[in-house]
Amino acid sequence: MTNYSILLLGTIVVPLVAALVMQVGGSLSKATTRFFATVGFSFPALASLILWINFQPADPSGYDYLIKLPTGLEGLGIYLHLGLNGISAPLLFLSGIVGLAAGLYALQSGAERLQQYLMLLLYMQAGLMGVFASVDIFFFYFFHELALIPTFICIGIWGGRDRHSAAMEMSIYLTLGAMLSLLGLLAICFQSGVSTFNMIALKDAIAAAPIEGASQNVIFGMLLFGFGILVSLFPFHSWAPKGYAAAPTSIAMLHAGVLKKFGLYGFVQVALPLVPLGAVHWSNLLAWLALGSVVIIGFITIAQRDLKVMIGFSSVMHMGYCFLGVACVSILGAAGAILTMMAHGLTVALLFLLGHVVYRRTETFEMDDMGGLVRQAPVLAAIFSGAVLASIGLPGPGLLNFFGEFTVFTALWDFNEAFAFAAVLGMVISAVYGLRAVACIFFGPHSEAFEKHLEENAVKDITVAEKIPIFILFVSLVVIGLWPRSITDEMNRALEAEFKTIDAELATLKNQPDESGIEFALSEKTQRR
């Protein structure tokens, strides 16, 4: 335990304390509220940046900054055990930076009962940091739920159209997903034979004695559907666009940008290394569903006329790439999934934010009622176009997205060429809806409705206050995009260690395909790898 470990603990504790102050402090003055919120949001961002830069795992497990505290569940082998490895360090930074941007935007949102709003956002932020900082599977799940509760309440109070039904649908759907994943995680701990929730100990135990093949299939099945629901895998996605459309902007940014990554992170960090045979068994179905996410949802996205709903669908679609990466059960696929997660987390947060900045000027999300905004807001138009290019994955602002998707396609080629062909179609689809949105909103003549709106209101270009969170997200996106080694070096090391045991386990499967009864899932391609 070093000072850095305490810093890691601080990324969770500081926003939590800031939230508690707001909750029990009665009605605080505006300046005090702003102060606590700013501290609560900037500390995790800065700390996660420092932790990422300083990341040098000396521990043989590949983890750094380990810290272990008892909370009373020691009897079950559960500790508040924090630490970072090459996979979680960049994702912790992602959640810190998106949290900062969302928090800064919430501060200027002018929401009613701002103190309560910021309080709930801070709780969510604490949970988000905890998800990626946890080494203990129980707390990994626990922090996810901690972040989920504020989402429902915020949608219900500060949401837009249809917020009641959207919040209810989301809560029921996501509880189902969370419960299934909880069962899957519990099952892993029991089947491993060591009765611990510690990810490092579990990985060691499973490297020594893998879980039996049939159990692996059941466990991965539960995780597939559980995490699949949480990450809005097609066809369990229906809550996502509805929920995001109804959610206030900062919540949509945090949920789509970070919280949704919980399931994918769980696949890469927990499911693949611990139940690899199960992953291979289900990989075909997972790949088909993921392809559905990319292609079917892609076409649905094209049909959307509401900007916020469109961004919501596009986020469902991009998750499809990550799932395709996971379905490959290869080091390249997993790496692609994580790169895409980083890229998408930053981009979708940026798009939701910009979507609301546009809404402030047009007072509608209907793209048909906009048009020609570039004349009033040229800078906004430039930034928005940049964000859309980033989301499509075009070189330049979209380098990070490009690297992620490119890695996924490469991995997919090894898995099955046909899937790779079909998935590339997705890039064209994103270009269609993305560029068309830019055209509809900013170019062409003013639509009638917008003309009328302009007569009554003075529409100004983007303000400095709005630029700050946008700048934070954009710079992270471009810098990491230009220098992806900042992620990939350490991630590669972590994944290589992980896949050493996975490949060893898969090799045993190849030697005795008859007994396990799951050989049909191993296509020739997988075996060649």
Partner 1 sequence: MNWEFYKILAESNQWNAILPEIALVILALSLLLLDMFGGKSGRELVDRVAVAGQIFLIILGFTLLRNNLGFLNQETFAGMLFHSELGQFMRIFFLLSSLLTTYMGSVFLKKNQIPETEFYVILLLITAGLMLLAQSNHFVMLFVALETVTIGFYVLVSYNRDKSNSLEAGLKYLIMGGFSTAILLMGIVLLFGVASNPGLPGSSLHAMKFSDLHIFLQLNEGNLVAKTGVLLVLAGIAFKIGSVPFQIWIPDVYQGAPTPVTAALAVSSKAGGFAVLIALVSGPFKPMANLVIPVLSLMAIITILFGNIAALAQRNVKRLIGLSGVSHAGYLLIGVVAIYSVPTAESAVIFYLITYLPASYAVFGVMAHLSAAGNDDLLELGDFKDMLKDSPFLAGVLVIGLGSLAGIPPLAGFIGKLLIFYAAFQAELYTLLGVAIVGVVISIYYYFGWIKEATFRFWKLPVLEGEEPELPKEWPEINSLTRVTLGMLALLTLVLGLYQGPLSSLIGG
Residues at the site binding partner 1, with contacts judged by CB under 8 A = 23, 70-77, 113, 138, 141-142, 145-146, 149, 152-153, 156-158, 163-164, 167-168, 171-172, 175-176, 179-180, 182-183, 186-187, 190, 195
Minimum distance between the CB of residue 472 and partner 1, rounded to whole angstroms? 29
Nearer to partner 1, 113 or 375 (CB): 113
Amino acid at 358: V
Nearer to partner 1, 175 or 516 (CB): 175
Nearer to partner 1, 248 or 386 (CB): 248
Minimum distance between the CB of residue 128 and partner 1, rounded to whole angstroms? 14
Of 329, 343, 200, nearest to 261 by C-alpha is: 343
Nearer to partner 1, 117 or 265 (CB): 117
Instruction: State whether residue 82 is helix, strand or coil.
Output: strand
Nearer to partner 1, 146 or 199 (CB): 146
Residue 194: CB atoms within 10 Å = 17
Minimum distance between the CB of residue 303 and partner 1, rounded to whole angstroms? 29
Yes or no: say if 159 and 166 are a contact pair by the CB < 8 Å rule. Answer: yes
Token digits for 74?
Answer: 């020691």
Nearer to partner 1, 190 or 421 (CB): 190
Minimum distance between the CB of residue 213 and partner 1, rounded to whole angstroms? 18
Minimum distance between the CB of residue 183 and partner 1, rounded to whole angstroms? 6
First-to-final CA distance of the chain: 39
Nearer to partner 1, 81 or 361 (CB): 81
Instruction: State whether residue 51 is helix, strand or coil.
Output: helix
Question: Which CA distances in Å does 403 have to 262, 394, 408?
Answer: 21, 10, 9
Tell me, letter by letter, the H, E, C secondary structure of 327-381.
Answer: HCCCHHHHHHHHHHHHHHHHHHHHHHHHHHHHHHHHCCCEHHHCCCHHHCCHHHH
Of 243, 219, 218, 216, nearest to 230 by C-alpha is: 243
Of 438, 439, 453, 446, nearest to 375 by C-alpha is: 446
Minimum distance between the CB of residue 155 and partner 1, rounded to whole angstroms? 9
Torsion 32-38-44-50 (CA) sign:
negative
Nearer to partner 1, 127 or 371 (CB): 127
Minimum distance between the CB of residue 193 and partner 1, rounded to whole angstroms? 13
Minimum distance between the CB of residue 177 and partner 1, rounded to whole angstroms? 9
